Amino acid sequence: MPTPTKQTKRKFGLIDLVRLLLVMVILCALGVIAYRLWDYKTGTDRYDQLQQEAVQPAEENQEEGFVPLDIDFDALREEGPDIIGWIDFDSVEISYPIVYSGDNSYYLRRLWDGSYNQAGTLFLEGNNQSLDDLHAIVYGHNMRNGTMFAPLKEYLDPEFFAANGGWFTLYTPEGAWRYQLFSIHEAEPDDPLYTVGFVVGDEYTDFLKILREARLYDTGVTVYSDDHVLTLSTCTDDGNDRIVAHARRAEAVDLP
C-alpha cells in the first residue's frame, strides 16, 4: 500500500485555507451588518433624544385641526449651530431638524452636531439663501430602516395621498407655515427642478408649470404664481434616481 505523499497533505491544507477564508468573509459580513444596525440605532436614538429635549406639542389649535409643536430653537442651536428649521409631517413619520452649511456634502453622513452617522441630517440646498426662498430644496436620505425621508415614497401611491393628504409644517426661529404637497414624482439627479434663485415673474411661473406637469397623478392642489415652494428630495431605493415631492406654502401658523 502506498504511503501518504506530501502532495496529499498539501491538498488538505488548501481545503483548510479555503474554509478559513470563507469563515473570515462571513465574519466580516456579519461585522458590517452589525455595525450598520448599531449605526442606524444610534442615529434613531439621537434624534429621539433631541426631540424629547427641544420639541414639545403645543396646545391644540382647533381652527387648524392639528397640534403644532413648541420648538426651542435656542436649545437646538446649542447642540447644532447650523440648525435653521424643523419639518413635521401630519401623516408619516417625518419630524426632523433641518440644517444649512452651504456645502451639499457636509451633512450627508453627519448628525446636526457634526458627529458621524449614516443617517446624516436633512439639509437645505447650498445655493439657497434660506428656507424663505421662493423655491427652496431640502435633501434627506431614504434610509433602509424607514427613517429620515424614506416615508416620502408612500406618496408615490395616489391612494395613500387621497387617504392621508400631503400636509406638513415647517418651523423656523422666525415662525411656522403649513405646506401641502402638490406634485410627487421621480427624477434624475440633474433634473432642472433643482433650480433655485427665482423671483416672482414669468420664469418662475413656467417653472411651477414644469413641477405640476411632472406629477405622477393629480393631487387636486392649486399652485399660484407667487407661491413659496419647498421641494423635498431623497434617493430611490436603487439609489440611481430621486423621489421628489413639491409643496406649496399654504398659510402661517399661529404659535403660542
Give the model's pLDDT for residue 54: 83
Give the residue extent of every domain in the chain.
45-252
pLDDT under 70: residue ranges of the chain = 1-14, 16, 20, 27, 29-39, 58-65
Q: What is the pLDDT of residue 57?
A: 75
Give the integer Cα–Cα distance in Å for 200 and 223: 13
The dihedrals phi and psi of 250, each to the nearest 5 degrees, come to -95, -45
Q: What is the pLDDT of residue 61?
A: 47
Distances (CA, A) of 192 to 132, 140, 207, 214: 20, 19, 9, 11
User: Which DSSP string do the residues of 16-59 spell out, in sequence order?
Assistant: HHHHHHHHHHHHHHHHHHHHHHHHHHHHHHHHHHHHHHHEEE--
Distance CA 165, CA 192 (A): 26
pTM, 2 dp: 0.85
Can you tell me the distance from the alpha carbon of 227 to that of 225, in angstroms, rounded to the nearest whole number? 6
pLDDT digits 0-9 by tens, 31-67: 666 556 656 777 788 998 998 888 887 665 445 467 8
Give the CATH fold of the 45-252 domain: Sortase; Chain: A; (2.40.260)
pLDDT tens, position by position, 173-204? 999 999 999 999 999 999 999 999 999 999 99
Beta bridge partners of 235: 242
Q: How far is CA 210 from CA 207, 213, 215, in A?
A: 5, 5, 9
Distance CA 54, CA 113 (A): 14
Cα angle 113, 88, 49; round to 5: 40
Q: What is the average pLDDT value for the chain, to the nearest integer?
A: 89
How many angstroms separate the CA atoms of 167 and 89, rounded?
Answer: 6
